[in-house]
Structure 1
Amino acid sequence: MTSLHLRLLCVAGILGVMFGARLPLAVADEAYDPWPGLVKDIFDDRPMNDGADVIGIEMPYRAEDAAIVPVTLRTKLAPSDDRRVLRITLVIDQNPAPIAAKFELGPDARVTEISTRVRVNNYTNVHAVAELSDGKLYVTKTFVKASGGCSAPAAKDADEAKNRIGQMRYRQFVKAGEGPTSGAREAQIMIGHPNNSGLQMDQLTQLYIPAFFINELKLWQDDSLVLAMEGGISISEDPNIRFTYVSNGAKRFRAEAKDTAGHVFQNEWKIDDSGI
């Protein structure tokens, strides 16, 4: 994302803050549906197939906090289906930058669930688009009532956020009957980062804080890719990704993240019989 693009997003966000009270009504009245234009801009107007049996999306209908709205994506292909989900794109239609994240699923990791937290700026449809190995796109959607998530002040003060930048934590949750070095499991990666959207105002200077966020994340078990993410301004402060995958017996788990300022953060964790 270029600096010009980000500045344009800031302008759009400021206008949204100024006139935000009217936007949810417009969406609720279905006076404006951005989705057809997003299909053209994001997916080159490729055909969208019904994804009800391919991809599921779960979000609260009414968000408690628009700056940290939980979202879970689940693949729904039957075990007998020889197709594979290659990528999932999460689109928050009414956000200033609608693409919240693009996930690439490792070819052998058998990822079936991804959860994270996002900012939601207005009442909006949220779409999950899965690209399958058959070359087709499959879409499903949900509706969320939330407002102001992209411009909400950071939860942590600037000094605390600065001290946490790049800190990573990894947790794994072994399923019953499975050892930590084999079988299916859930895992979680947490990265300390303010993930500034570019639409938040510094309460002291009254100036807008420049966009500054994690835009790339890759996770491996040994040298085999588990999951990769391209993130945008909609991913909440301190990105938190929880996912399921199938272990290949790896002895280590690795993570690499990059942000829009060019910082690279790396870490790895040993996996042994006692867990992590």
Structure 2
Amino acid sequence: MSGMHFRKVCVAILLAISTGQGSASATESYDPWPGLVQDIFDNKPISDGSAVIALEMPARAEDAAIVPVTLRIKPASDPAHRVVAITLVIDQNPAPMAAKFTLGPDANVSEIATRVRVNSYTDVHAVAETSDGKLHMVKTYVKASGGCSAPAAKNAEEAKGRLGQIRYRQFTKTEDGATGIRDAQVMIGHPNNSGLQMDQLTHLYVPAFYVDRLQLWQDNSPVLSMEGGISISEDPNIRFTYTSNGATTFRVEAKDTDGHVFKKEWKVDGTAM
């Protein structure tokens, strides 16, 4: 977030407090999106993306700390202009850019699902970049609050014991499997502390500590990578749909903000299933 954009947010909140509206009303009335377009996308033109991508989230979250989000990539009318990256922006979160997903050139990723923290009532934008360099945007509105400051679900010792544990599941997407389309899931044990949570014993803020990089390969061919921020929920969970290239191994590598690197590899069925 640029200094100018941060100052605008602060001014909006202070004005609301001085008029008795409260900070919640301030964040709802102030639209940060124009500033985010400048900060995140360098003010590049962004067109309507309803023909390119779909964004699914609950209108009202049951738990603001684990809000499900699904990104669906629609078939391209021109195969030469495929989606190469998707940026997920939660406008009113303290760090709005939740994640950037980069798609493997030959993986044909068509769906990505994960869980995020939502700190207040907010627009959520998904911006798809196509191979011709153009940006396409869709958005939805989510009612939730307190997700970024919600206490961790697991205590510190339990979280420490799970740190870096990676699990992988693979499913057949189609009934006959002839197309090689597969549905898979990667789960990483990690507290993903946002830096806004308070230790219930010391009443001190727990330092930010989260997975900021995730990469997936089938054999040596990239499937998907993610640059993550504090908005990704505890124990990051990514489910995705891709096309198998006949690989016999699937690899995952994750890195967190403390420099830990977690790696794991599995043998997979190399047939078309």
TM-score (structure 2 length as normaliser)? 0.89
Matched, 1:242 2:239: yes
CA distance in 2: counterparts of 1:131 and 1:273, whole angstroms: 30
Equivalent residue runs for 1:195-214 within 5 Å: 195-214=192-211
Q: Compute the displacement of 1:25 (Å).
A: 2.9
The answer as to 2:59 corresponding to 1:77 is no
Q: 1:124 aligns with which of 112, 122, 125?
A: 122
Partner of 1:39: 37
SS of the equivalent of 1:53 reads coil
Gap runs ≥5 in structure 1: none
Equivalent positions of 1:1-276 (< 5 A) are 22-28=22-28, 31-78=29-76, 81-175=79-173, 176-178=175-177, 183-272=180-269
Contact 1:251–1:272 under 8 Å retained in 2: yes
Letter of the structure 2 residue corresponding to residue 199 of structure 1: L
RMSD of the alignment, in Å? 2.3
Alpha-carbon deviations, 1:193-220, whole Å to 9, x = none? 0000000000000000000000000000
Kindly indicate whether the alpha-carbon contact (under 8 Å) linking 1:120 and 1:148 is maintained by their aligned counterparts in 2. yes
Q: Does the CA contact (< 8 Å) of 1:47 and 1:137 recur in 2? A: yes
TM-score (norm 1): 0.88
SS for the counterpart of 1:220 is: strand
Preserved CA contact (<8 Å) 1:23 1:122: no
Instruction: Quote the Cα distance in structure 2 between the aligned partners of 1:250 and 1:162.
Output: 33
Deviation at 1:79, TM superposition (A): 5.7
In the alignment, the residues of structure 1 paired with residue 52 and residue 26 of structure 2 have an alpha-carbon distance, to the nearest angstrom, of: 31
Following TM superposition, by how much is the alpha carbon of 1:274 offset from its aligned partner in structure 2, in angstroms?
A: 10
- 1:58-78 deviation digits (Å, cap 9, x = unpaired): 000000000000000011134
For 2:235, give the aligned amino acid. Answer: D
One-letter amino acid of the counterpart of residue 262, structure 1: G
Offset of 1:55 from its aligned partner? Answer: 1.0
The count of corresponding residues between Structure 1 and Structure 2 is 258
| SS of structure 2 residue aligned to 1:82 | helix
